[in-house]
């Protein structure tokens, strides 16, 4: 069975976490791949993997399919130059619907535009592919000019190593993804463990033991939840832990927290968050960089180093890696 990728050159724009994983998986599945990247660490890594690296617009110009893996905040400013380089009927693949929902991107009249969004970071996608395993993914047709857009999405998803595929819309994927990141996976998680650690330390408990209990052990319980689901999780913990979870958990995530979740979701749905992020990105990285630096020297980071015997320069306590980002 043939698909549009059998004879196509795919330009992967950006060589960050998703771009690197998807470019390598595409290549290893037999697709002709070029990487579009500005000179820097990403371009160097791509060349080290034996991939052809071109400037962004040059990569687009020679491709039948273009996979946009650039950071969300960079796409709008780069788009006019990219759009002028597209072939008239080039297929366009996005890993995240953010700019399909919140930006006004112009596409060639005959271009199919699709969404293929793996349900995991690029590192996990690559590792699963190399083990012969697959991650689920969301797929959607944003524009179907050929009548075969969903076929392009499904073929691309298969080549990067994803299955099963869940059909959705760019809006649903974007809103759910942002909500999950802000409320659970990134924002909620970091705030919860920080607050728990601070509560114990303020009452005189060892910072190192508080770290091991509230942060370090989280991985093992998250693995249990991932493997068995909520019911299996409850069955896999002690009676004491279960009683505490069932009676105290709802006090931690009570009505006030649920109200904030609803407010955050409405900010996402209305576009307020996207506008706020666009304004922040326009101002430059100064404020975010300052916040990251402030967080880097919090006592919880020193507790981590002492509890685990990590060196002060260990990257776990340093630069942000954005490993959950779809960029």
CA 309 vs. chain centroid, Å, equals 29
- The DSSP element (H or E) to which 48 belongs, if any, is helix 41-48
Q: Give pLDDT, residue 1.
A: 44
Q: Residues 6 or more apart from 177 whose CB is under 8 A from it? A: 96, 97, 117, 326
Q: Give pLDDT, residue 3.
A: 83
Catalytic residue among 17, 96, 142, 197: 96
Q: Give pLDDT, residue 8.
A: 95
Please give the angle made by the CA atoms of 268, 274 and 275, to the nearest 5 degrees: 120
**Domain residue extents for the chain:** 9-169, 177-317
Q: Give pLDDT, residue 316.
A: 59
Q: Give pLDDT, residue 298.
A: 86
| C-beta neighbour count of 234 within 10 angstroms | 15
Q: Residues 6 or more apart from 26 whose CB is under 8 A from it? A: 5, 10, 12, 33, 67, 159, 160
Query: Residue 66 forms beta bridges with which residues?
Result: 11, 92
Q: Give pLDDT, residue 325.
A: 43
> Under CATH, which architecture does the 9-169 domain have?
3-Layer(aba) Sandwich (3.40)
Q: Is 96 a catalytic residue?
A: yes
Splitting the chain (327 residues) into consecutive groups of 10 residues, what average pLDDT does each group show? 84 96 98 94 94 97 97 96 95 97 95 97 97 97 97 97 98 98 97 97 97 96 96 97 97 97 98 96 84 86 91 53 43
Question: Which tokens go with 319?
Answer: 């630069």
Q: Give pLDDT, residue 320.
A: 38
Q: In what order do the strands lie in the sheet with 65-68?
A: 52-54, 32-36, 9-13, 65-68, 91-94, 113-118, 135-143, 162-167
Q: Give pLDDT, residue 323.
A: 40
| C-beta neighbour count of 166 within 10 angstroms | 14
């Amino acid at each position: 069975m043939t698909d549009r990728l059998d004879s196509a050159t795919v330009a992967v724009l950006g060589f960050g976490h998703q771009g690197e994983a998807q470019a390598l998986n595409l290549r290893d599945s037999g697709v002709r791949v070029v990487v579009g990247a500005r000179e820097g660490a990403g371009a160097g890594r791509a060349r080290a993997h034996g991939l052809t690296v071109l400037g962004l617009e040059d990569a687009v110009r020679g491709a039948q399919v273009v996979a946009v893996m650039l950071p969300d905040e960079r796409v709008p400013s780069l788009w006019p130059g990219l759009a002028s380089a597209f072939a008239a009927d080039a297929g366009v693949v996005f890993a995240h619907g953010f700019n399909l929902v919140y930006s006004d991107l112009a596409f060639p009249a005959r271009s199919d535009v699709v969404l293929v969004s793996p349900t995991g970071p690029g590192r996990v996608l690559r590792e699963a592919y190399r083990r012969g395993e697959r991650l689920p993914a969301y797929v959607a047709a944003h524009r179907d000019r050929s009548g075969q857009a969903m076929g392009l999405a499904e073929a691309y998803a298969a080549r990067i190593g994803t299955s099963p595929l869940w059909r959705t819309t760019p809006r649903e994927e974007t809103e759910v993804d942002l909500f999950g990141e802000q409320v659970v996976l990134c924002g909620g998680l970091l705030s919860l463990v920080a607050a728990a650690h601070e509560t114990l330390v303020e009452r005189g408990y060892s910072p190192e033991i508080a770290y091991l209990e509230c942060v370090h052990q989280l991985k093992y319980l998250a693995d249990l939840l991932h493997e068995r689901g909520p019911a299996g999780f409850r069955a896999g913990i002690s009676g004491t832990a279960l009683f505490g979870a069932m009676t105290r958990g709802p006090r931690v995530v009570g009505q006030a927290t649920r109200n904030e979740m609803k407010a955050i979701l409405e900010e996402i749905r209305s576009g307020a968050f996207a506008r706020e992020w666009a304004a922040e990105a326009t101002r430059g990285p100064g404020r975010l960089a300052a916040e990251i630096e402030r967080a880097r020297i919090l006592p919880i980071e020193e507790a981590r180093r002492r509890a685990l015997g990590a060196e002060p320069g260990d990257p776990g306590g340093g630069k942000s890696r954005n490993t959950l980002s779809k960029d």
